A and B are shown apart, each in its own frame.
Chain A
Amino acid sequence: MVDTEKILIKKCIKGDIDAFEELIESHQKRAYNIALRILKNPDDAMDISQEAFIKIFKSIKSFKFQSSFSTWLYRVVSNTCIDYLRKNKNEVYSIDNPIKTEEGSIKRQFEDEGNTTEELFNKKMTKELIYKSIGKLDNQYRIIIILRDIEGFSYKEISDILDCSLGTVKSRISRARNSLKHIILREMEQNNNSIV
């Protein structure tokens, strides 16, 4: 842990807002974007990420310097987002559903493999498509894709942030990526069809 960070944290404990702003300066954008990707709504992302920062500010006394501050920060942010999603189940994701779709996706993935045209795949796969597809992932997978592939956290960091074992992180990343790939392929097929 960096010494300046320690000093800032101690100032924050005394209620120094300036120190807190300095402390979260480098994390604000990332936290906002994580919230944005998870919640898929800029307003919610702003509210929830700010709520997370306030939580951090309030409970910074209880930060024990055992893990890195950034990991703790993103943990709070992601937990706050997950809590928000749980509370506002606008999109109902039953627990059974993702598993089914996942299984289906794997099956279809193998089935479809032959039909996929390389050209289409290479040319038409764009950033927008990726966005859209990530948005269509289940919460659980979306978060892990965001953390791993967009924000580039290490496996260890992810296991700390999501408070789960390294093995869980590994399998979850694997499944999330497969799920993402399937969604992208399906989207491309639909696009292709609609274009043609």
Chain B
Amino acid sequence: MDCREFNEKLSLYIDNELEHNERNEFDLHLNKCNECKKSYEEMIKILQLTSEVEDKDLPENYKSSLRSKLELEIKENKKKLNFKLLTSVAACFLLLVVSFGFIINNTDLFRVKQQIMEDNSSPYEAYDEDGKYEMPKAGDSSTVRNYTESDKESVGIRFNKDLEESKDDKAPQESDLFSGSIESLDESNNRENTGVKIIKEAYLTLEIKKYDNSLNNIVTFVNERNGYIENSETWYYNPNVKPEDFDRKDQLKRGTLKIRIPQQNFDEALKLLNNEGLISNEQTSSRNITQSYYDTENIIKNLEVQEKRLREILKEAKNVEEILRVENELNRVRTEIDRNKGTIRGWDNLVNYSTIIVNLIETESNTEAIQKLDAGILSKAKEGFISTINSIINFLERAFIFVITIIPAIIIVVICIILVFMLIRRILSKREH
């Protein structure tokens, strides 16, 4: 070991950090070399003095100031923690409310959309059904009148056709019925009405939303049941608009229908009409004419017997005067027979075909054009305002209920978040160290 190596290992030697053999070598050198021995002694002296350097006492206020600093730290830490907790909870809550609100709003929106579509569907349908609506005709009363008339005409034509058709259908029956033979009449009467003759009539006022639809439904029904429309009339009216600024689009329709329908379908027809709209007025009457009917029949029979006899007398008549008198008498009897038969026929008609008179009143405008700015607007605005407020209240109520209901879930979520948060913190602090 040379002096240089000695110098390098001096420190370790002093601290007793050398290996055993190194230590021996060091001892050997220390004994041999005076220089190194001196250096060693110097170092020992220095280190001895160094270790004698006394620790200075803590400043007087050291502990108290440390204490206050620590307390401050704790406060801040708590604040931080609280803040973090608060923010995370708040964020959670916000998220929930927002998502909830979104869902609610969506469903609300959906519902409103549906409503709008439903509302819109009627005017659009009305448009599509009647091609004439597509022609915009700005407030011109004459054209309106024309239109009304033409409309009436067209309706009338249609109904007349129906009438003719139904008459055609009935024609063979009627010819059977009124062929003049009393027997066949009796038979048919017995067959159809079991001898009781009742005339049924109804008078209805019907408030409907879609005039054309209802009218079509009624006509279709009547046709299906072998009935017919005896009379029909349609016109426009609008109580809110003067005839001068009459625009057809704004107009509501009104109409009167006289329906004739086989008696067995009378109740069914009333039911249908009932479904078609709101009945504001209804009158039904049943008139039993059995007695008068058979009386009249007997009168006809008697008259016919009388006629037969008169014809026999006529054959035996010898002079002109006799012939004339008999013929005169025969003529009277014949007229009487015809008159009574006419009554019977009318009754048969009335009995077989019940009469329903329907007043159709359209109550809602089917327009979608710009309407008059009038009394409606304020009340509508008010309605809208109120409904919005109601929906807000509704929403808040539902939100409140929802929040209360999901509180258990929130608690679980918050716990999870806190756990995750703590885990992250732990991982972070691990990394720091």
A residues apposed to B, CB below 8 Å = 15, 17, 20-21, 28-30, 32-33, 36, 42, 46, 50, 53-54, 57-59, 61-62, 64, 113, 118, 121-122, 125-127, 130-131, 134, 145, 148-150, 152, 155, 170, 173-174, 177-178, 180-181, 184
Contact = CB atoms under 8 A, between A and B. Distances in A.
A174 B8 contact: yes
B67 A62 contact: no
B62 A130 contact: no
A163 to B, nearest CB: 11
B222 interface: no
Given A21-B63, A57-B70, A150 B53 contact: yes
A33 B62 CA distance: 12
A12 B337 CA distance: 128
B429 A134 contact: no
Interface in B27-42: 35, 38-39, 42
Interface stretch (B9-17, B211-219, B340-348, B353-361): B9-17
B77 to A, nearest CB: 7
B12 A177 contact: no
Nearest to B76: A58
B46 A17 contact: no
Contacts of A148: 15
B271 interface: no
Contact of B50 (A15, A42, A57, A145): A145
B11 A152 contact: no
B17 A170 contact: yes
B42 A150 contact: no
Nearest to A72: B433
A62 B17 contact: no
Given A15-B74, A28-B62, A122 B45 contact: yes
Nearest to A17: B70
11 contacts: A17-B71, A46-B62, A54-B73, A58-B73, A59-B432, A62-B430, A118-B38, A127-B53, A134-B53, A174-B9, A180-B50
Nearest to B61: A46
Contacts, number: 108
B67 A17 contact: yes
A30 B429 contact: no
A62 B49 contact: no
In the A-B complex, the 9 residue pairs with the closest CB atoms: A174-B11, A62-B429, A149-B50, A33-B55, A50-B66, A130-B49, A177-B11, A17-B70, A32-B58
Given A121-B45, A181-B46, 5 more contacts: A21-B66, A118-B38, A150-B53, A170-B11, A174-B8
Most chain A CB within a 10 A radius of its CB, from B8, B55, B74: B55
B175 interface: no
B52 A127 contact: yes
Contacts of B8: 174
Nearest to A55: B73
A173 B16 CA distance: 13
A42 B55 CA distance: 12
A121 to B, nearest CB: 7
Nearest to A149: B50
A62 B39 CA distance: 46
Contacts of B56: 32-33, 36, 42
B376 interface: no
A177 B11 CA distance: 7
A178 B7 contact: yes
A131 B50 CA distance: 8
Contacts of B15: 148, 155, 173
Most chain A CB within a 10 A radius of its CB, from B15, B52, B74: B15
A170 B10 CA distance: 11
A150 B55 CA distance: 9
Contacts of B45: 121-122, 125
Given A50-B62, A50-B69, A113-B35, A173 B51 contact: no
